[in-house]
Amino acid sequence: MDITLKIWRQKNTAIKGKFENYTLKGVSPEMSFLEMLDYLNKTLIEAGKEPVVFEHDCREGICGACGLYINGRPHGPLTHTTTCELHMREFKDGDTIVVEPWRSKAFPIIKDLSVDRSAFDKILIAGGFINIDTGAAAEANSILISKTLADKAFDAAVCIGCGACVAACQNSSAMLFVAAKVAQYAMLPQGKVEANERVLKMVDSMDDLGFGFCSNTYACEFDCPKGISVEFIAQMNREFLWAKTCKK
């Protein structure tokens, strides 16, 4: 199949970027989207041109590094799919595909399609951990946790921190990411010890880093590749208000 790629090129944050068009012939429908970009870069290098910079690591939908804005949606047209799991069979011969980086003040562009997502790391450093000495692995039945609660905590913990929620939000809010990270600890006994301190620090860090506010459009849930529910945002808001009350 032959496709036209309209790709955002930008040398760095300080220099204004622009879209550039590339015609790519002989694309296999079985290629992943990242393999297609590898193929594009191979043709650019062979032609003596500068390749397109994009992020990737595991290419298995686990690490969250591959996030791209494809045809107006984070990670492309499929639900619950990361960019690296998206295949070219989802497009048609002759299609024009628009590829952009995440757009957010908190995610400054490094180069081309690569953005600096270290803001997420700073939020986690602020409170996304527990301080208790866990020692060796405890016997499975020594801390009784209902399966319902354990499953819900796991539903939050599957967040890979890709930033699709920020890219999808009209306000560039990171509420879904922060809510998932708060919830995965707050619902389990080990994380309850410093639950109040955690939610306050992580929300304050999110605000300080320049992420926008949540206006409940649910775009974050819709475009999250792991299907994280906005219910966790409501839960985090309750945790935050309770922590504020206890602090007074």
The token duo for 60 is 């298995």
Considering only CA atoms, which of 103, 104, 107, 99 is closest in space to residue 83? 99
- Domain holding 156, by residue range, is 118-247
83 and 123 in a single domain? The answer is no
User: Same domain for 166 and 82?
Assistant: no
55, 8, 162, 203: CA torsion to nearest 10: 130
**Residue 82 near residue 66 (C-beta atoms within 8 A):** yes
**Domain boundary at 51, 75, 110, which?**
110
| Token pair belonging to 69 | 């804005």
Which long-range contacts link 127-132 to residues 24+ away (Cβ below 8 Å)? 127/182, 127/194, 127/197, 127/198, 127/199, 127/200, 127/201, 127/202, 127/205, 128/181, 128/185, 128/198, 128/202, 130/185, 130/190, 130/191, 130/193, 130/194, 131/193, 131/194, 132/190, 132/193
Structure confidence at residue 248 (pLDDT): 65
Question: Which CATH number is 76's domain given?
Answer: 3.10.20.30
Provide the number of structural domains found in the chain. 2
| Amino acid, res. 58 | C
User: For residue 171, what are the contacts with CB-CB under 8 A and spacing of at least 6?
Assistant: 212, 213, 214, 215
Q: Which of 70, 86, 110 is the last residue of a domain?
A: 110
> Same domain for 63 and 94?
yes
- pLDDT at site 130: 85
Residue 60's pLDDT is 94
Whichever domain contains 211, its CATH number is 1.10.1060.10
- Alpha-helical (H) ranges within the chain are 33-46, 118-127, 147-157, 164-168, 175-186, 189-192, 195-208, 219-223, 231-247
Residuewise pLDDT in 10s, the chain (248 residues): 999 999 999 999 999 999 999 999 999 999 999 999 999 999 999 999 999 999 999 999 999 999 999 999 999 999 999 999 999 999 999 999 999 999 999 999 999 999 999 999 999 999 998 887 767 777 767 778 888 999 999 999 999 999 999 999 999 999 999 999 999 999 988 888 899 999 999 999 999 999 999 999 999 999 999 999 999 999 999 999 999 998 76
Assess whether 127 and 243 both reside in one domain: yes
